[in-house]
Amino acid sequence: MSEYPAYPNRRKLDLAGFWDFHFLPESECKLKDLQSVDGFPFADILTVPGCFDFSPAYFTKRGIGLYRKRLSLPAGSYRLEIGGVTLGAKIFLNGKYAATDDLPYSFFCHEFTADSGTLEIVIAVENSFDDEEHVLFGKDYDFYAAGGILRSIMLYALPEDGVVFERCRITTLDLETGRIRLEADVRGIPDGKCPLPVRFDDAAAAQSVEFCFADGTGTAECIVPDHRIWSPESPNLHVAELSCPGHSDVLQERFGIRTIAAKAGQILLNGKPVFLAGYNRHESHPDFGYATPPSLQIADLQILKSLHCNFIRGAHYPQSQEFLELCDKTGFLVWEESLGWGNGSVFLNRETFRKKQVEQTELMVQVSYNHPSVIMWGFLNENHSSLPEARTLIAELAGAVKRIDPARLVTFASMQIGYGEQSLDLVDVIACNTYPGWYIAPTTLRNYHPDQPGMIAGRLDEVEREISAPELKDRPLILSEIGASALYGYHDRGRVPWSEEFQADYVAEVCRQVKLRPRIQGLALWQFADTKTYVATGSTHSKGFNNKGSLDEYRNEKKVCEVVRREFPELLKEKVR
């Protein structure tokens, strides 16, 4: 359960733990046809958070996982919050359909009133592909589509006295003085001016801050007393507590004071150039699927620290709030992106896909707004951005993000640079995914080889040439994916592809090239750890895993880690001189 936002005066129930479970194979029923959850035996038990299809009894099965919990509650108004499900869910309360959650990996909430007595919650989660029901999760995505309630699940009793705090988005306006802007979503306060007490950190008393309310959102500016700036080296955090005299509800938000900008080809954190050195990370583990426990999240961050990383790209979906809190506290810089993967014209021309893309991206920005670790928003990984319909959607998404959050950078990972890319002018940071010598190679030399390092240099020359046009030349370039596969434990003197030696050499050459090229301001290697994909991906991935991890799926280090430990400190030192 994430620590913030916190509502200290509300009664809350953490619903994580054991839930009754029943599995319905996809041959028996589809989620869209499920009208009732009566009569199922619920003879099994599973944990929430969890992926049902990573547990031995239902391993890789497709269908509907029905999770059931019975509670005893006093009468009142309640709010159910779920940190994320995949691929989608229907919620039934006391046997009646109540709501649909159709944004995978995304925050979801549902409010309802209950009579005193037993409340039965059934969450029917489907992991079968369905273009109509689960429009955002294509069946050709190469990361395994697991099913389950992935993240925290909470029930709050809502205050009955007319004022309900939702969230307050906090933006740094001035690093020197600690001036911030507050945008508080509060139900029950009429339009117009309204002073509200705001208390920071451990202050004995609150300051009265004048908010101006319109349509349920109050905006104000104020100074954070004794403010400390957030940075990877000093991840200082503050807490703002908002309340409303005469009413019970209290909201606490944690935030960091820092700025981020892209200027003259550089990324500026708190006004100073920063080089981003890190990894793409899937929320993935062979035993837990995408419902990774907090202990594993912490372990991953410890390993990333030991590899001298300051940057994580959360590939390829909204991140868990708990993980982002850990990044805030441990000082990582994060690229958070909404769900998408290689989407071409079939997706881009589907109206429901475009609509849901905008909806989930806006929601992600709103929910993660206060994490200082998040410096960049992304979307549509490797979409077919040479198509006009891609440009239209990228423009729409970039606009939607900037309307909510003009203070962060916007990007998308392009694989089309040099192949007709036409949307880079729409984003702040140019992000390039490329696998020279792994996927792209002249027929005479099918793969990169240490004796032929020119393949990486050649491709990077091409990328730099392509983005030298006047309207692009001032935008920082980062390599958002680059890498090669290695099977853990497979060593070869001849350094052949798939050996740990090959991968280590490949990444050493990537680092050497990045060091030489002033235009490159960030490197996110693909990828942190091996991740489950599909057996049928054949020659690109092996054993049903994407093996480009620097660690294997159980976090055993491959030889490449030695290279990263040696090269990243150099990169961080030399690139920001």
- The token pair at 2 is 């994430």
Cβ closest to ligand ADA, residue 283 vs residue 481: 481
Query: Alpha helix locations (H) across 1-121?
Result: none
User: Which residues, numbered 300-319, are part of the site for ligand ADA (CB under 6 A)?
Assistant: 316
Render 52-65 in DSSP notation, one character per residue.
GGGSGGGTT--EEE
- The token pair at 527 is 């990828």
Amino acid type, 354: R
Return the closest-CA partner of residue 292 out of 532, 88, 25, 488: 532
> Shortest Cβ distance from residue 382 to ligand ADA (Å)?
5
Cβ closest to ligand ADA, residue 369 vs residue 526: 526
> Shortest Cβ distance from residue 540 to ligand ADA (Å)?
6
The answer to whether residue 475 forms part of the interface with ligand ADA (CB under 6 A) is no
Contact between 27 and 165 (Cβ < 8 Å): no
Cβ closest to ligand ADA, residue 106 vs residue 547: 547
**Which of 2, 381, 423, 513 forms a contact with ligand ADA (CB under 6 A)?**
381
Secondary structure letter of residue 257 according to DSSP: B
The answer to whether residue 362 forms part of the interface with ligand ADA (CB under 6 A) is no
> Shortest Cβ distance from residue 431 to ligand ADA (Å)?
11
Return the closest-CA partner of residue 47 out of 57, 55, 37: 55
The answer to whether residue 283 forms part of the interface with ligand ADA (CB under 6 A) is no
The binding track of 81-120 with respect to ligand ADA, each residue x by CB under 6 A or -, is ----------------------------------------
Contact between 284 and 531 (Cβ < 8 Å): yes
**Which of 172, 338, 433, 499 forms a contact with ligand ADA (CB under 6 A)?**
433
Q: Which helix (H) or strand (E) holds 323?
A: helix 321-330
What sign does the CA torsion over 168, 171, 175, 179 have?
A: negative
Contact between 80 and 153 (Cβ < 8 Å): yes
> Shortest Cβ distance from residue 481 to ligand ADA (Å)?
5
The answer to whether residue 382 forms part of the interface with ligand ADA (CB under 6 A) is yes
Contact between 494 and 449 (Cβ < 8 Å): no
Contact between 87 and 147 (Cβ < 8 Å): yes
The answer to whether residue 513 forms part of the interface with ligand ADA (CB under 6 A) is no
φ, ψ at 217 (rounded to 5°): -120, 125
The CA angle 122-124-128, to the nearest 5 degrees, is 170
Cβ closest to ligand ADA, residue 47 vs residue 343: 343
C-alpha 573 chain-centroid distance:
28
Cβ closest to ligand ADA, residue 258 vs residue 316: 316
> Shortest Cβ distance from residue 440 to ligand ADA (Å)?
11
Cβ closest to ligand ADA, residue 23 vs residue 341: 341
**Which of 142, 185, 389, 396 forms a contact with ligand ADA (CB under 6 A)?**
142
Cβ closest to ligand ADA, residue 55 vs residue 383: 383
- # residues contacting ligand ADA (CB under 6 A): 11
User: Which residues, numbered 183-222, are part of the site for ligand ADA (CB under 6 A)?
Assistant: none
Contact between 234 and 228 (Cβ < 8 Å): yes
Contact between 407 and 179 (Cβ < 8 Å): no
Q: What is the crossing angle of helices 351-368 and 321-330, to 10°?
A: 40
> Shortest Cβ distance from residue 436 to ligand ADA (Å)?
12
**Which of 47, 217, 499, 546 forms a contact with ligand ADA (CB under 6 A)?**
546
> Shortest Cβ distance from residue 339 to ligand ADA (Å)?
12
The residue behind tokens 């159980």 is 554
> Shortest Cβ distance from residue 330 to ligand ADA (Å)?
25
The residue behind tokens 């001189």 is 577
Residue 481 CA to residue 170 CA, distance in Å, equals 31
Q: Which stretch binds ligand ADA (CB under 6 A): 351-359, 364-372, 404-412, 540-548?
A: 540-548
Residue 351 CA to residue 555 CA, distance in Å, equals 40
The answer to whether residue 548 forms part of the interface with ligand ADA (CB under 6 A) is yes
**Cα Rg for the chain, rounded, in angstroms?**
24
> Shortest Cβ distance from residue 526 to ligand ADA (Å)?
5
> Shortest Cβ distance from residue 472 to ligand ADA (Å)?
21
> Shortest Cβ distance from residue 344 to ligand ADA (Å)?
14
φ, ψ at 119 (rounded to 5°): -115, 125
> Shortest Cβ distance from residue 421 to ligand ADA (Å)?
14
The answer to whether residue 266 forms part of the interface with ligand ADA (CB under 6 A) is no
Does residue 119 have a cis peptide bond before it, meaning omega lies within 30 degrees of 0? no
The answer to whether residue 526 forms part of the interface with ligand ADA (CB under 6 A) is yes
The binding track of 316-355 with respect to ligand ADA, each residue x by CB under 6 A or -, is x---------------------------------------
The answer to whether residue 481 forms part of the interface with ligand ADA (CB under 6 A) is yes
Which residues contact ligand ADA by CB under 6 A? Answer: 142, 316, 381-382, 415, 433, 481, 526, 540, 546, 548
